[in-house]
Structure 1
């Protein structure tokens, strides 16, 4: 399987309405992480019919944050094939990650929207990762990819339960910020 490519972003050049500028250089995700090159990550929150959020516990075999809780699905925005530095669409990346990690069928994801429009640095351990959180509703079942996700720790939580989990469980730094932001917007 060929290594996943990402676009390198320029952190100090932000274009109005678009965010970080794509430099035109494609690099492997491994290179982006080891050399701390800026690249964009999507993080998806999935709500079931009762309004509960599906939280994922990462697999013990993961290099970053093994067994930590995180959003429903997440991953890097992949570079497209060809000579131009174009990334896959943000919503497409979120859906791809949900399919890869949770086995959710594409048609079961509804009302997909971006929570904030410009990628942000929110993980002090990985400041080269620029995050874009999304939220969607879904119906149906899922089939967890156990290479990515710990099925025992992956389930739906109410907003009250998420508030309690954030106080006592280990979350990836980005997921913690996104979930706290989400809960704060509900209380406005």
Structure 2
């Protein structure tokens, strides 16, 4: 759901506008800044890389993100997650839309969230609003592999990555059993070299 696709209740709109004119004007101005030239806008949580269909938990404690979550929960329960570019320190230009599937507010204003990621988007334009990032985005259409060769290449890559991850976990467990942080680090160096 976006502001462009939601029907407005005329009666409720008139009641709110009449009884809360300042709040109505502020919210309308916020909403107007979020709708641009056919692209959608969404708040961004700047944290880490996330891929479609991934699930994760978040603990929200920063005041700017607490405000953002309250606003998201009043709306469509969706936001973008984006990583920082390690070279520049600014957000990268591709994000992933996530949906808040569970939101547990804590008495001190923090939140514990369960998220599920859906689709990727490209950041067209970003700006700060009330301390957090907001971006105008366009959706990325991922094209699945078509040919048998593309599918085989993808399977091989996936298998290789899974094998590497299993090997790394085994080395970490062995190092923990032996109590040797140095053993683990040296085994990683050997594997990389």
TM-score of the superposed pair, with normalisation by structure 2: 0.23
Q: TM (normalized to structure 1)? A: 0.24
Decide which structure has greater strand share: 1
Query: Larger % of helix: which?
Result: 2
Radius of gyration: which is bigger?
2
